[in-house]
């Protein structure tokens, strides 16, 4: 203790080490937001974003008159691509944020007025798609599923190309 009183640099070094030890421990422990924002989902446990399993997504997608609703922004679609649909499948884009989808109600009422229309929604991670799903269900749509993030949808792209 006497050494610390005589040497301010030693006191600084000890304080810095104590701070570093605490902050490193906090840094290594995953926080709740980082766990919720993960873009990879393991379907053995319920997802906090209510993302359907690949089997559930394909079950909705394979129904007649299915609609793929992409709620990413146009620049995201331009840079990453989109699900190519063929035949009777519809692909629609509505720009949404995690908080709101201002054009969704009008687009849904115009593009698929039947409330039983199968709708597969996706975005970049599943968050905006979750919000869009919630809004459509509040509007009375009964056959809606959150497919999650675009980069995880290879199986849906393959199914769309074979349909």
Q: pLDDT tens across 102-118, in order?
A: 999 999 999 999 999 99
Tokens of 122: 């996706």
**pLDDT exceeds cutoff 50 at 38:** no
State if pTM tops 0.75.
no
Residue 106, CA atoms < 13 Å, CB-side half-sphere: 5
**pLDDT exceeds cutoff 80 at 100:** yes
**pLDDT exceeds cutoff 90 at 14:** no
Distances (CA, A) of 158 to 58, 86, 163: 11, 12, 9
Give, as one character, the DSSP assignment of residue 69: E
51 SS3 class: strand
User: Over pLDDT 70: what percentage of the chain?
Assistant: 69
d(CA 142, CA 153): 22
Q: Where are the domains of the chain?
A: 2-35, 54-162
Strands of 90-93's sheet, edge to edge?
A: 90-93, 67-70, 119-123, 144-149
Superfamily of domain 54-162: Rhodanese-like domain (3.40.250.10)
Q: Are 125 and 116 in contact (CB under 8 A)?
A: no
């Amino acid at each position: 203790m006497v050494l610390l009183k005589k040497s301010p640099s030693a006191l600084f070094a000890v304080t810095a080490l104590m701070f570093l030890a605490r902050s490193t421990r906090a840094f290594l422990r995953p926080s709740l937001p980082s766990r919720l924002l993960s873009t990879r989902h393991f379907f053995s446990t319920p997802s906090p974003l209510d993302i359907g399993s690949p089997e559930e997504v394909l079950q909705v997608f394979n129904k007649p008159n299915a609609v793929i609703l992409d709620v990413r922004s146009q620049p995201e679609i331009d840079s990453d691509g989109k699900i190519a649909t063929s035949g009777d499948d519809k692909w629609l884009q509505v720009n949404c944020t995690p908080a709101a989808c201002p054009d969704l109600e009008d687009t849904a009422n115009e593009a698929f007025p039947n409330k039983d229309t199968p709708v597969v929604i996706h975005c970049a991670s599943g968050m905006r798609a979750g919000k869009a799903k919630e809004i459509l269900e509040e509007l009375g749509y009964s056959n809606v599923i959150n497919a999650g993030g675009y980069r995880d949808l290879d199986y849906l792209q393959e199914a769309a190309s074979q349909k």
